[in-house]
Structure 1
């Protein structure tokens, strides 16, 4: 990214780098922040004036910037078989066990779901100023890198923490999607340790999408049975000097 450049940032959803434009309205955003090396900017007031699913962001400081957003809930109803398969795919055996104990395996499910997303943008050369890359944004669920991926050499390992309301989440499924410069995609499935951390290697240049989700009993049982929160972190680089 060039210093001073202003771009339209799309909000996309989906896996395997085949994301589609988010169909929600911008007024569903509850948080949208730009964290810069020495400052921060609340982008929510200007973004929610439009319903385009795009945000206009200017990058006027050199170094690593962090964009962080969160949405409110949307609701859906799932048939029992689909929901049970979904729980298995997300390694949510604890929720499946609760449904079994409640004799609910054959009952449809009302799910409230929300999204959180963070992306790291490198503007010009690294300056060493500030620590925007690992800022804890206070999202309902977020991935926090403990090293700046834009300053790590190729082949180095990156450690991430999974936090829910600021607290570490042990045993969470974390999926790392890596698309190299030739558009080949590799998927790694990891689980956080007791401190909510995972570690993976930045093996080759390309784009990295890290995702996780968490499901809990809904606080409003009149509206939904379960609350799910989806969170992602994206970054990418075109080239690197090998370690």
Structure 2
């Protein structure tokens, strides 16, 4: 029994270090023009989390893109000038339309014993990596991994129905992240129970068979819902927005580590997420400007 418990503890340590979800959270995803709010990077489970890090060195890219190409704010810490233990996350949303905030982290490293690494791969739905390790007779080899995070949040300023369709362009754009979830419709324009399609892109190319987890927070203290779907041959997943949310979509990809990192890692994982609110209801109109 002690051996079983110890193994379970090690699995949880590994999943805590790597496999917990990472996302960007706003106090409200629907605002009035001119509001300034903090977009917090969180890490946790079941769409419940705490602060990710205070280290500026962990942030490779932190940018807000507005509804027009000229409207953007770059809060990426400047190496050698930003305090090492803090970075800013407050953005001003000046103009009506759909804004995108994205964060890309630097790489971190972890090594897990073989059994725990296999359990982690199963938990994350990384079947292809499991298969490769079996084909290469690496089942008894520790898992040496470098991992990074890519998160996006969609923030709606003003009523979507009152803004021109051209202000949707930011939310459907591909931003060149190593792994990216890209909506093909603006969720703030969809009616309740209408379908939203989202593409899974790795280095700009569709990912077939990616496991995409979807969480939806329910109003009134009801339990958060969760389910997993696989992307089709074109890298697309489909979901129906059954309420105001907010929603969290998350996926992970693992490839062989690049040559420059092979002294520390055999595998490179990339974790991507997308957060947004669903169709607005009378109880979920944009917050009043303060």
In structure 2, the residue matched to 1:225 is 266
Comparing both structures, which one devotes a greater share of its residues to helix?
Answer: 2
Give the conservation status (yes or no) of the 8 Å contact 1:213–1:229. Answer: yes
Of 63, 66, 70, 1:36 maps to 66
CA–CA separation in structure 2 for the residues paired with 1:21 and 1:45:
17
Q: How much does 1:144 deviate?
A: 0.3
Contact 1:10 1:54 in 2 (8 A): no
Query: Which residue of structure 1 aligns with residue 24 of structure 2?
Result: none
Structure 1 position 209 matched with structure 2 position 248: yes
Return the TM-score normalized by structure 2: 0.78
- TM-score relative to the length of structure 1: 0.93
Q: Which residue in 1 is equivalent to 2:230? A: 191
RMSD of aligned residue pairs (Cα, Å): 1.9
Q: Which has the larger radius of gyration?
A: 2
Q: Is the 8 A contact 2:200 2:235 kept in 1?
A: yes
Q: Which blocks of at least 5 consecutive residues in structure 1 are unaligned? A: none
8 A contact 1:12–1:21 mirrored in 2: yes
With over 3 angstroms needed to count, the CA separation of the structure-2 counterparts of 1:24 and 1:169, relative to structure 1, is farther
What is the SS of the residue equivalent to 1:100?
helix
What is the match of residue 189 of structure 2? 151
Q: How far has the Cα of 1:173 moved from its partner?
A: 0.5
Q: Is the 8 A contact 2:73 2:91 kept in 1?
A: no
Contact 1:75 1:111 (C-alpha < 8 Å) held by counterparts: yes
**Structure 2 unaligned spans of 5+:** 1-30, 283-290
Q: Which has the higher strand share?
A: 1
Query: Once the two structures are superposed, what CA deviation does each residue of 1:34-85 show, in whole Å capped at 9, x if it has no partner?
Result: 1111133322147982433551111001111001110110001111111101
Q: How does 1:46-65 map to 2 (within 5 A)?
A: 49-50=82-83, 51-52=85-86, 54-65=88-99
